[in-house]
Amino acid sequence: MLTGSRGISLILAIAIAVLVMAFLSLIPSSTSAALWGTLILSFSISYLLISITLEFLVYREIGNIYNLLEKIQKKDLSEIQDKSLRSSLSPLRKINTVINSYALARQREIETLQKNAEFRREFIADISHELKTPIFATQGYIHTLLDGAIDDKQVRMKFLKKAAKSLDSLDHLVQDLLTLNQMESGVIKFSFTEFDLKDLIQEVIEELEHKASKREVTIKLEAEPGKNYTTLADRQKIYRVCQNLIFNAVKYNHNGGEVIVGIKSSKNQIQVDVKDDGQGIPPEDLKRIFERFYRVEKSRSKEKGGTGLGLAIVKHILEGHKSKISVSSTVGKGSIFSFQLPLEKEKKVQEKEPTEAKA
Ligand SMILES: Nc1ncnc2c1ncn2[C@@H]1O[C@H](COP(=O)(O)OP(=O)(O)O)[C@@H](O)[C@H]1O
Ligand SMILES: [Mg+2]
């Protein structure tokens, strides 16, 4: 290839030598030996001078620019490109490759930023939408009271109670959002302790029994008597996982339905299955229910007082325990949500954990 400094020098040197020879041949007294001598001499001198100039002035400068580029882009260059660059001699080709790889890296960066921006936009739209509902309801009740309803004693109490309920759901939503955000940014630390998972589930069931009985839903715990269910986990957070799953099983069940919480302990693991015979989840929604704010039936779930964040929180908590949540569901028949936690060797004297704060 004649594109390097040597190639250019060669072409220019030949051109100069030919020109000099052509001029010299016009002089009638010049001999052919003198002509050839001049040709060789002018070619050699031109070649040397041109290549030195190119090599040391132009190409050295380009080399410097390349080194600088390489320093700036060190992070962006992949190893493969690095190897091919080292074997390539031409600084121009090197610069070309560096600029190409730089452009590619920047393009990838721009795409990631665009995706993040879109995700942020969607998230803000979702949050605003979710916040709007309770704020709008509270605003409505308070304005009606201010417009005169306050004088009617019965209406006054009813509206104040409704406004308070809307504010409670707003508080619930903000709490869930904060928890999710702190978990994603790693602010929330997990504090692992040993505890009996069966006892914890029993506590959750006791807490939810009142809500379930309102809809005549029964909650049963199925565990093998005498088995060890000691686990090492963050008790408060696992409480929240069980609370979310069992409450969902009650909420999305029909009146008079049944929820069975099965707990099985094998060699190294404890498996928890929360089974309901409720409405079930269509297959196309099944993979999305762990996303923030995703609800199968938007209006129906909202009416039931959900924030749409419960399962997203469950997923994060279990990921923090190196476990994961799985679900199988049949529309019209019901759903089973399952997760596993490690089984710990039973201690002879099991201390009871202090009472949990509500999630
Ligand atoms: N056991 C279940 N049976 C049927 N649908 C369920 C069940 N659990 C969750 N879902 C669906 O998944 C959605 C997301 O659940 P979740 O994140 O807990 O939000 P929500 O606050 O609405 O309960 C719910 O809105 C509901 O549509
Ligand atoms: Mg829920």
Beta strands across the sheet bearing 326-330: 218-223, 258-265, 269-276, 334-342, 326-330
Residue 160 CA to chain centroid, in angstroms?
A: 41
Residue with tokens 């704020």, as numbered in its chain: 135
Q: Which atom in ligand 1 lies closest to the alpha carbon of residue 309?
A: 17
* Closest C-alpha among 281, 280, 286, 284 to residue 325: 286
278 close to ligand 1 (CB < 6 Angstrom): yes
Angle (CA) 280-285-290 rounded to 5° is 95
Q: Are 108 and 123 in contact (CB under 8 A)?
A: no
Phi, psi of 69 (to 5 degrees): -60, -45
Per residue in 202-252, pLDDT (tens digit) is 999 999 999 999 999 999 999 998 899 999 999 999 999 999 999 999 999
Cα 213 to ligand 1 centre (Å): 19
Lowest mean pLDDT among 6-10, 86-90, 108-112: 86-90
pLDDT confidence of residue 101: 82
334 close to ligand 1 (CB < 6 Angstrom): no
Per residue in 146-195, pLDDT (tens digit) is 998 889 888 899 999 999 999 999 999 999 999 998 888 888 889 999 99
Query: What's the whole-number average pLDDT of the chain?
Result: 86
Does pLDDT of 8 surpass 70? yes
The preferred substitution site among 286, 301, 307, 328 for testing ligand 1, maximizing ligand atoms within 8 Å of CB, is 301
Does pLDDT of 98 surpass 50? yes
The preferred substitution site among 176, 243, 252 for testing ligand 1, maximizing ligand atoms within 8 Å of CB, is 252
pLDDT confidence of residue 62: 78
Lowest mean pLDDT among 104-108, 212-216, 305-309: 305-309
279 close to ligand 1 (CB < 6 Angstrom): yes
For residue 290, the ligand closest to its alpha carbon is 1
Does pLDDT of 199 surpass 50? yes
Domains within the chain, CATH numbers bracketed = 5-106 (no CATH), 124-184 (1.10.287.130), 193-342 (3.30.565.10)
pLDDT confidence of residue 99: 80
Cα 213 to ligand 2 centre (Å): 18
Cα 296 to ligand 2 centre (Å): 11
Distance in angstroms (rounded) separating the CA atoms of residues 258 and 261: 10
pLDDT confidence of residue 80: 43
> How confident is the model over 266-270, as a mean pLDDT?
93
pLDDT band at 356 (very low <50, low <70, confident <90, very high): very low
276 close to ligand 1 (CB < 6 Angstrom): yes
Q: Are 232 and 353 in contact (CB under 8 A)?
A: no
Q: Are strands 258-265 and 326-330 parallel, antiparallel or unpaired?
A: unpaired
